[in-house]
Structure 1
């Protein structure tokens, strides 16, 4: 019997004094290469889902901003370090923390864990981009929300 049609949602918690967004996921067969190891590009998908969910949980409505013609976020820089591989059927957790907030960008630190094992760490800069493709000032109330959850 289906009791809910709501998709999984992550949540914020404090870890070592820092507001951290937690997003859990499972590795499916489609995420792996022929050896059962997660294909490197799939980690980008995992981190994107976590960042999108983090924004939603912080009441930052990207879809509404886009529909109003304000713009949307685009990843402008990313630095990733792989520490250990994930495998088919692993339960993973993506931890995301807002590190720095600018007028037109936000810097987010992300880590992917399997239990206590760090698999990947990344530094991500997302720029707010106007419909014409140029950087634009992100909405003031978004900056305020980011600052509330920033490390």
Structure 2
């Protein structure tokens, strides 16, 4: 790599059909004393995957937050742990939109090790004003979520 070569960018995952695939690796800091991934870290993995899914789908959360329009907040979360992940495992978080409303969205996520399902969950979010009141999410965002929910491919 020469000095003029661009530095690598962080992984953002990619859409395969209407599902977002986000790769990650389990590091020592992710594990507990038993050597297994600490249960709360699955939530972090899923959050990273959702954030990058929205970003590459064209949803500018930061711009809306800085512009005073609003922000998403988790309103419901259900997780099922099936199998543990361990140090150095290569994982994939697969996310798909399952429901969209005027001020909300639901996303189903699976944490996979190869073909093996480790953890899955359903996350519902609401779009809130900076004061914390529900508000309609931007129409272009509803359109993006609707396309994903119908299984349409989203290419950046």
Q: Which TM-score band (shorter chain)?
A: over 0.9
Give 1:3 deviation, angstroms.
4.3
Give 1:108 deviation, angstroms.
0.2
Q: Structure 2: which 5+ residue stretches go unaligned? A: 151-156
* Residue of structure 1 in register with 2:67 after alignment: 68
Kindly tell me the number of residue pairs found equivalent between the two proteins: 147
Alpha carbon RMSD of aligned pairs, Å? Answer: 1.0
In structure 1, how many angstroms separate the alpha carbons of the residues matched to 2:36 and 2:6? 33
Structure 1 runs (4+) deviating above 6 angstroms are none
Give 1:150 deviation, angstroms.
1.0
In structure 2, how many angstroms separate the alpha carbons of the residues matched to 1:61 and 1:3? 24
* Residue of structure 2 in register with 1:115 after alignment: 114
Query: Normalising to structure 2: TM-score of the pair?
Result: 0.91
Q: Structure 1: which 5+ residue stretches go unaligned? A: none
Where do residues 83-102 of structure 1 align in structure 2 (5 Å cutoff)?
83-102=82-101
Query: Normalising to structure 1: TM-score of the pair?
Result: 0.94
- Is structure 2 residue 10 aligned with structure 1 residue 11? no
In structure 2, how many angstroms separate the alpha carbons of the residues matched to 1:5 and 1:46? 20
Partner deviation per Cα, 1:73-107 (whole Å, 9 max, x = no partner): 11110000000000011000000000010000000
